[in-house]
Structure 1
């Protein structure tokens, strides 16, 4: 898509009566003015504006608008009130009182201890919850304390985890995880699985950490052909050049097949998703995706402005393109947003062999809106740090597929085995082993039927803003 931000700003300014900011450094912004920013931003850009009556352009006259704004005690209250069906439809829009933190997160920097984890409901269906370690960042606190992939924890600070308390227990800057052993009793059934405390514990401390999303790469020789493997854990713009370097190495090694591991990737930059897909498939100039905004914006955008294309360059630098006609992608319920965008938008062009479990079901994207007449960072009100990350569009692939709210379902269902998670990037790790076996057997193998456990949370729930997919 061509950069149409200035065009969208023109639309917003033409439909909302704007005020002008003074230099307000010494004058705290009133709740009324913060609420005004929330309403103006959502009125201009919110994807679901059409179905939220209080966001209609003609909803208020001057007096009733003032009364409406003053009815909410905080901008967060108004933002939550205006979100459309937040439990089922808009689960992903956010507001923050500190956009510096938000910007750091978009660049891959968060407060964490280096332990990636998922939180699962116990196999017996109770409200009890256990955690598993997916991976550990090198040179992190978790690494120094001996945390490793496959560790199971049942409690935090001596309290057993359940669906009601895990959020508060894991939100602290410092905590101790209480370890356990997961036993599948040697069967593919989960109903007889058990989690047993082993008396061990590890104390962890969070600090500001920048995560390189390129976690693991490897090259294997399978059936006399080279197979590339990439575990990619976030679509982070600042690492796009490094991603291109990885594909340069794949090219230099004459990769014939690629296994892309997105099982712990919760999303990120749409542009990075386009670049990654282009490096895999080529298809330069073909439609990658189209965008559907709210009706007011949509009617004023041209086809060209709502269309994203596969590309062969990034900021003038040539991409390293494999031109594959098939890719193997590993997923879990934690694979979301931009991860799903890659899968959905490659499907019309190449054979996507999807292994793992269904994905999260996030097909919408957001943008950052600042309190400024043009909603840009440059002109942001200096008196506060509020910003919003509302959903503004949904993505469709080249044949119009979207609205996959239940997730994208795999061709081969294979949940992780919490009693034997294996070592990432090795030929014996269960999901990678399955992909390599499919390559070797040309897709003729089958997998045992294993019931997936319910995901109730993961590491991304404990960063300040879950931004998902953003423009």
Structure 2
């Protein structure tokens, strides 16, 4: 069965050639042409060049093999390409189990076309976004609770809303061993059995909701954009759920609306945002802080082989004054309130970390996931240094459909900080309450209300006690090929020798 791990991505343009200024890879081992190791050979060659921890993985060392025969035998020792890939990752969580993992997020897909399409934000979906959580401290039964429903989706026409719970699928109780097959398997249509909590325990309801996944469902990441009046202060509220460049102009228009309505404060809600396009994160940061094109937003760090090829100009991203087509609408704020949880990752954390040296970032919620690395999409196209390019589909080895998404670098902010693999810790800790999720964008929704309390400087007029804290172990967003991703989209000319 195909495994989907945490997803990152990058779109880059590369040129491969031989000259004295190129990366020195050393002698390249070649497998026996009669050996059935096409996928494994591609994986080793690509990871030897690009992998962030290449210098720390003994089996990826340039001098690892003394002969082609030794190299062939090594590749043949793994008959399953998937197992081979994770074996050359640096203490990957898939391999080490309970041992502390270094690489938590690299993954592979035996169909690179599926991998590439997922990065565009287009997927087969019924439009219901939910988290999954254990019912009890002991046992394997789980339940789901609805986070939100995508507009213009199959679920938007069904009788189901944020905060509702379900325990069964097609009449079968959900467990940690069957939920993938029941909710994320090949069945496009399923029926949820709803439930509620009574006297501290789960009670199954007779209500059922049938949903159907639809191909090419596109999510507008701007779920809510409105300006609130808080005792005379205009507060912009943005519920932003993924960094997709195809919605950059709509995002800029939302900030034009905030400016026109006189907003002087912003609550940026990224509690469910798993990441996305790095440049979109830069644009959003500029809309919040300002169009300071001489101030550093983030810098990238690759492995030593690649880093030596890149200029400081390429490695450094500054704040922007245009989206590429229109001038950025910025609020020029000195502080921002960010709602973030463990469901917030990658580009969401990048915005928070990138803004931190320049303005006050007040983080309300929970510790974020801790994804400070980015990756690139690699396919069996050695003449293009294995980097996927949509214009080179005919150059990809037709006998090898594997695509890889390995971690290849880290982002640091203007102060040089990037060490948040354990997550960004909130200034004001407040978990979501399963029994009181509230309505997103309404002033009495608990996390938003807590931010508004800070803005108004008033005393608490509502009880922020959490009766049943949300402690999900996965979500609908993390069970898709796209998962949480962070991808670059600027051209890179790299010479490999």
The TM-score, its normalising length taken from structure 1, stands at 0.89
Deviation string 1:300-340 (CA, Å, 9 cap, x unpaired) is 43333322211112224321111111111111211111111
* Counterpart in the other structure of 1:37: 42
Of the structure 1 ranges 30-39 and 260-269, higher mean CA displacement relative to structure 2 is found in 30-39
Alpha-carbon spacing, 1:445–1:277, altered in 2? closer, same or farther (3 Å): farther
Match of 1:66 among 51, 69, 72: 72
Query: What SS does structure 2 have at the residue aligned with 1:334?
Result: coil
Are the counterparts in 1 of residues 293 and 321 from structure 2 also a CA contact under 8 Å?
Answer: yes
1:164 matched to 2:177? The reply is yes
In the alignment, what sits opposite 1:401?
Answer: 417
The equivalent position to 2:306 in structure 1, one of 294, 297, 311, is 297
Q: Unpaired segments of 5 or more residues in structure 2?
A: 1-10, 94-100, 489-497
Query: Does 2:253 align with 1:238?
Result: no
Distance in 2, matches of 1:443 and 1:17, equals 69
Give 1:370 deviation, angstroms.
2.3
Distance 1:15 1:4 in 2: 20
Q: Alignment partner for residue 117 of structure 1, among 130, 146, 168?
A: 130
Choose from 353, 366, 369 the match for 2:362.
353
Question: 3-state SS of the aligned residue for 1:163?
Answer: coil
Structure 2: distance between partners of 1:390 and 1:250 = 38
Q: How many residues align?
A: 453
* Alpha-carbon distance in structure 1 between the residues aligned to 2:16 and 2:472: 38
Asked if the contact 1:256/1:324 (under 8 Å) is kept, the reply is yes
> CA separation of 1:182/1:32 partners in 2, compared to 1, >3 Å: closer, same or farther?
same
Counterparts of residues 72-83 of structure 1 (less than 5 Å) = 72-83=78-89
Q: How far is the alpha carbon of 1:447 from its aligned partner?
A: 7.3
What is the aligned counterpart of 1:224 among 227, 232, 236? 232
Work out whether residues 171 and 193 of structure 2, in 8 Å CA contact, stay in contact via their aligned partners in 1. Answer: yes
**Separation in structure 2 between the aligned mates of residue 441 and residue 15 of structure 1, nearest angstrom:** 59
* Equivalent in the alignment of 1:104: 117
* Residues 273 and 342, structure 1, Cα contact 8 Å, conserved in 2: yes
Contact 2:23 2:309 in 1 (8 A): no
Q: Distance in 2 between matches of 1:7 and 1:445?
A: 61
User: 2: distance between equivalents of 1:417 and 1:31?
Assistant: 53
Instruction: Provide the residue aligned with 2:92 in structure 1.
Output: 86
Instruction: Say whether the 8 Å CA contact 2:299–2:412 is kept in structure 1.
Output: yes
CA distance in 1, matches of 2:201, 2:80: 46
> Residue 129 of structure 1: which of 123, 142, 145 is its match?
142
Matches within 5 A, 1:257-406: 257-282=265-290, 283-372=292-381, 373-374=383-384, 375-377=387-389, 378-379=391-392, 380-381=395-396, 383=398, 384-406=400-422
Q: Which has the higher contact order (CA 8 A, sep 6+)?
A: 2
1:437 aligns with 2:459: no
5+ residue gaps, structure 1: 21-28, 186-192
Give the RMSD, CA atoms, in angstroms: 2.7
Contact 1:179 1:198 in 2 (8 A): yes
Task: Calculate the TM-score normalised by the size of structure 2.
Answer: 0.84
